[in-house]
Amino acid sequence: MRGPMADQQTGTEVDIEAIAATARAGLAAADDEAALESWRVAQLGRKGVLTSVLRQLAGLPIEERRRIGAEANALKTELEAALESRRLSLAGERLAATVAGGQVDVTLPGRTKRVGRLHPITQTLREMTDIFVSMGFAVTEGPEVETDYYNFGALLIAPDHPARDMQDTLYIDYQRDGAYPFMLRTHTSPNQVRFMEQHQPPIRVVVPGRCYRNEATDPTHEWMITQIELLAVDEGISLADLKGTLFEFAKRMFGQERKVRFRCDYFPYVEPGVDMSIDCFLCGGEGCRMCHNEGWIEIMGAGMVHPQILTNMGYDAERVTGFAAGIGAERVCLLRNGIEDIRSFYQNDLRFLEQF
Ligand code: FA5
């Protein structure tokens, strides 16, 4: 580096060589973190020596500015690197002193950090949701504690309707006028009504979420399940749209080779109602404990939205029609991975969960 430059503001000369020498000596003398930090502030900080040199460059003739600027920048890079290396060597010295003092046993095995992952049902639910989103469905959510009206009444399941027996319900322990008005939702279907109350057709929406039933559990039945509700309402929607959408979903989820079966089923809020099953992965359709000797495992209930519900929502049921479906994520995950007992999902056994 060459000679001093004139300081434009003070008239004094700035000697880069001298600045470099002072800075290097200061760094060599700094022997702990606090000293290193004050050195950094004094030399490289916003108001540090080097920064003020760089600020003064503007007032110099172009040739001088280039030369001094280059020298000052080179010094800055050198000092930053020197700071980092001094920091490391001080840390090394500290560690060596600790080891020598017998405070650290470097022969002990390291502690492995356990990396978490998403629960298999969360992974499955996200994959299912993504398939429907790619078909143009939006995503919404609803409450897990429901009212009698949304869980049953608005879906045409009156208090004395036998369909209430299809979903053994966990009620909240709170009574009003001799009745229990709140429950853990037994399915995601209440969100059909919740969404239609707030929106006009055309509607294409999916609602993923937890549901609860007072089930006697077995290899394909849990008391806490995860469903995804599907709802499409528009002019000209037919059962063919329902089948097309669900076939496409099944193909993407399970592959072309898996067999899919549609059968008539009864749900008061659809007309007609169907259920969709996939052939049993365990017995290939022969019949076994897994599929209750049926050869098929049901994964969803579905159907055309009942015209009475469309009318109740204020829609013109002569003009618009719709389809709806409720799919169980546990059953989908079970079938895709050949899992023999649905209860494994919620037993918190890491040997099982870490396979996903
Ligand atoms: C219903 O829950 C209807 N709400 C579905 C529906 C929606 C019908 C829209 C018509 C229109 P279902 O009780 O069959 O239906 O349950 C639907 C799916 O949830 C089942 O096919 C299954 O995949 C899953 N499921 C239901 N109960 C259980 C359970 N106890 N354990 C595991 N999965 C279950």
Quote the pLDDT of residue 8. 47
Cβ partners under 8 Å of residue 175, min gap 6: none
Say if ligand 1 is within 6 A of residue 306 CB. Answer: no
Say if ligand 1 is within 6 A of residue 301 CB. Answer: yes
Say if ligand 1 is within 6 A of residue 334 CB. Answer: no
Number of other CB atoms surrounding residue 104 within 10 Å: 11
Q: Is-contact 140 129, C-beta < 8 A?
A: no
Quote the pLDDT of residue 13. 60
Cβ partners under 8 Å of residue 329, min gap 6: 121, 124, 125, 128, 208, 225, 226, 227, 228
Q: By alpha-carbon position, which residue is closest to atom 10 of ligand 1?
A: 302
CA of 199 from ligand 1 middle (Å) equals 25
Say if ligand 1 is within 6 A of residue 213 CB. Answer: yes
User: How far is the C-alpha of 256 from the C-alpha of 259, rounded, in Å?
Assistant: 8
Q: Is-contact 1 20, C-beta < 8 A?
A: yes
Ligand 1 atom at minimal distance to the Cα of residue 300: 21
Q: What is the largest CA-CA distance in the chain?
A: 100
Ligand 1, from 267, 269, 334: best to mutate by most atoms within 8 Å of Cβ?
267
User: How far is the C-alpha of 92 from the C-alpha of 286, rounded, in Å?
Assistant: 68
Structure tokens at 196: 């239609």
User: How far is the C-alpha of 235 from the C-alpha of 126, rounded, in Å?
Assistant: 29
> Distance of CA 100 to CAs 88, 93, 95, 97, 103, Å?
18, 10, 8, 5, 8
Structure tokens at 264: 């008539």
CA of 284 from ligand 1 middle (Å) equals 22
User: How far is the C-alpha of 356 from the C-alpha of 350, rounded, in Å?
Assistant: 10
Say if ligand 1 is within 6 A of residue 302 CB. Answer: yes
Say if ligand 1 is within 6 A of residue 148 CB. Answer: no
| Mean pLDDT, the chain cut into blocks of 10 residues (356 residues total) | 48 75 92 92 90 85 87 92 93 86 83 91 97 98 97 92 82 92 96 98 98 92 97 97 94 86 95 93 83 90 98 98 97 90 95 93
Quote the pLDDT of residue 233. 98
Quote the pLDDT of residue 15. 84
Quote the pLDDT of residue 115. 85
Picking from 84, 59, 75, 76, the residue whose alpha carbon sits closest to that of residue 5 is 59
Q: By alpha-carbon position, which residue is closest to atom 13 of ligand 1?
A: 167
Cβ partners under 8 Å of residue 222, min gap 6: 215, 330, 342, 343, 345, 346
Picking from 201, 160, 156, 171, the residue whose alpha carbon sits closest to that of residue 312 is 156
pTM as predicted: 0.71
